[in-house]
Chains A and B, each alone.
Chain A
Amino acid sequence: MYEKTATELQHLFVSGQLSAVEITNYFLNRIENIDKKIGSFLQLFPERTLRKAKELDEKKKSGGKLGKLAGIPIAIKDNIHIKGERTTCASKLLANYEALFDATSTRLLEEEDAILIGKTNLDEFAMGGATEYSAFLKTHNPWNLACTPGGSSGGSAAAVAARLAPLSIGSDTGGSVRQPASYCGLVGYKPTYGRISRYGLVAFGSSLDQIGPFAYTTQDMALIAEVLGVHCPHDSNSLNHPKENIQGQLKQDLKGVRVGVPYHFLTNLSDEMKKSFDASISVLKNLGAEIIEINLKVLKYAMPTYYIIATAEASTNLARFDGIRYGNRNQYAMTLDEVYDLTREHGFGAEVKRRIILGTSVLSSGFSGSYYKKALGARGRILDAFTTSFESCDLVVMPTAPTPAFETGSIQDPVSMYLMDLYTVHANLTGLPAISVPSGFAQNGNPIGFQMIAKHRQDGFLIGCAHAFEQARPENIQIPSIAKEAV
């Protein structure tokens, strides 16, 4: 059953070949056996999951209308609320926090009869690129257990790659869905800013955050993207844009599509990554796309711009975790000041503290020039450069990450870790929709991803183009051997 795509599983359920309880038990059993080695889940709630599966089987028996995601187990990053379950953000501070309402995204999934199977590991408060900064456990890459699955949505990526769930959702503030998707050989999609509601997602960088799914195939991605891409009055940045028929936009070729490549931005790629990227460009050409060189020299400034804006917003958003209204208040705090200072000292991990303090510094008046204003200016320049590029092309492509998955713990320096986001942060700064698709394997067997970026609100077109690319190279979709072990 683990070889089935989400679309296939839904058909098997609807046609009566598998019950929801059978599917659920099968995946819960796989998680119990395989996840010991991978560490993708932080929590399971089998009682709730099986109760929902039983309800779904009864609904089917009584002839009720079945949803688009009927019977599909979906894993949820543990910074997104499921009412009545814990949302820990992989932080000691929120270890016992119970979600009081459903996130719009989890509500929409359940309304389409998906089965929420568990909450997945992440870098604490989604800050990191290797899922090493979780306060609870390290997640390993199913392709190579010594390597990171990427981050911050590493648990959601590893769970799908190890075939512990056919779909999952994560959040992408600077590449946290696309980068782990590329490291784990999956499709990972960050929507246009505002396309998927963030209501019920714990905020990190509000002008950058987007929820995004992981899937084996672009067909599955189209299915879940259609369900999640709806307007939501609870997120003030939700796009008031009609629901899209994305499955109807899946393309078989790229005839007439103009693809922009910022070659000057790719000069530091290793030979292996360059070769892989060039091979992907050939695939696009063979599909009929026209390749155009574009000028995005300003992308050199995207990393510093991102780290100023993201940390400034994080320091503001995380001010609410003060041990007063929720979270684990430090038990030794005697005064109100100590409640704040000690709760945050002991509740947050080193990377979160580093980012909050950095954010505080870039927002401090008179501190080393006004970084924040500069970053907003640079953000405008980056957006303008993309707008100009999109006058001559329909799609921009580049690698998803500078390297395949690296060994867990091998990058200690924060700046070196930040540079792993080199090719992803600009889509968050500009709000453009972007997708990572599997594009082959490195010599050491780790997957490599290829990234496509489209204009605002062209999410359906983007996933459609990714589908044509995927169909041309079906050998890029593989299952890691750990997932094939008998359970």
Chain B
Amino acid sequence: MSQIDDTTVANLAKLSRIAVTEQETKSLQKDLSKILDFVELLDELDLEGCYLCNQIIKDHKHLMRDDVVKDLLPRDAFLKNAPDHMGGMVKVPPIIKKD
């Protein structure tokens, strides 16, 4: 059985940058415990001498492009989707407070 308590869920939510209500914490605690019990099936697999599979297609070379600046996305176009912007830059709430 996976031991997931409310504090663990709250901590994971914090790491995930998602605010959660008390009720959501309860239901997440229940769901995550079930899901983690399910993935614990992997514990019975003997992985002695296994390799970590990061590449599934043999002989495939990841494409790298030259490190050259290109104007692929004009600033005006980019700012269309920004929630808030000013003077051609994305605006965010103040990070350092005036004292």
Contact = CB atoms under 8 A, between A and B. Distances in A.
B47 A357 contact: no
Of the candidates A239, A298, A429, the one having the most CB atoms from chain B within 10 angstroms of its own CB is: A239
A322 B90 CA distance: 13
A379 B77 contact: no
Contacts of B38: 303-304, 307, 415, 418
B45 interface: yes
B17 A378 contact: no
A344 interface: yes
Given A354-B28, A354-B32, A357-B12, A377 B50 contact: yes
Given A371-B39, A371-B42, A381-B45, A348 B18 contact: yes
A305 B19 CA distance: 28
B93 interface: yes
Interface in B38-81: 38-43, 45, 47, 50-54, 56-58, 60-65, 72-73, 77-78, 80-81
Contacts of B65: 233
A415 to B, nearest CB: 5
Interface residues of A, number: 78
A441 to B, nearest CB: 32
Contact of A356 (B3, B16, B63, B83): B16
A150 to B, nearest CB: 21
A137 interface: no
Contacts of A325: 78, 81-82, 90
B18 A341 contact: yes
Contacts of A240: 60-61, 63
B96 to A, nearest CB: 10
Contact of A360 (B16, B41, B42): B16
B63 to A, nearest CB: 5
Residue among B12, B18, B90 facing the most chain A CB atoms (10 A cut-off): B18
A375 interface: yes
Contacts of B50: 377-378, 380-381
Nearest to A340: B17
Interface in B16-46: 16-20, 24, 27-28, 31-32, 34-36, 38-43, 45
Contacts of A413: 34
A276 interface: no
Nearest to B18: A344
Interface string A114-148: 00000000000000000000000000000000000
A378 B15 contact: no
For A97, A236, A319, A328, which residue has the most chain B Cβ atoms within 10 angstroms? Answer: A236
B35 A380 contact: no
Interface stretch (A49-57, A71-79, A164-172, A329-337): A329-337
Given A308-B39, A377-B52, A357 B62 contact: no
A26 interface: no
Contacts of B86: none
B11 to A, nearest CB: 9
Nearest to A375: B42
B61 to A, nearest CB: 7
A353 B27 CA distance: 12
Chain A interface SS verdict (over half) = helix
A303 B42 CA distance: 10
B42 to A, nearest CB: 5
Interface in A436-461: 456
Given A236-B63, A380-B50, A357 B39 contact: no
Contacts of B6: none
Interface in A238-255: 238-240
B32 A358 contact: yes
Given A301-B41, A304-B42, A354-B31, A344 B53 contact: no
A472 interface: no
Given A233-B63, A339-B92, A415-B34, A207 B56 contact: yes
Interface string A360-399: 1110100011010111111111010000000000000000
Q: Which of B31, B34, B54 has the most CB of A within 10 A?
A: B31
Contacts of A304: 38-42
A263 interface: no
Contacts of B41: 300-301, 303-304
A341 B13 CA distance: 9
Contacts of B63: 233, 235-238, 240
Nearest to B54: A376
Contact of B9 (A323, A357, A429): A357
A155 interface: no
A300 B12 CA distance: 28
15 contacts: A237-B60, A298-B45, A301-B41, A322-B17, A324-B92, A335-B93, A345-B18, A350-B27, A354-B31, A357-B13, A357-B28, A364-B15, A371-B39, A378-B47, A431-B57
Interface of A: 96-98, 100-101, 192-194, 207, 233, 235-240, 298, 300-301, 303-305, 307-308, 315, 319, 322-329, 333-336, 338-342, 344-345, 348, 350, 353-354, 356-362, 364, 368-369, 371, 373-381, 383, 413-415, 418, 429-431, 456
Name the 6 nearest CB pairs between A and B, nearest first.
Answer: A380-B53, A329-B83, A377-B50, A326-B81, A431-B56, A304-B39
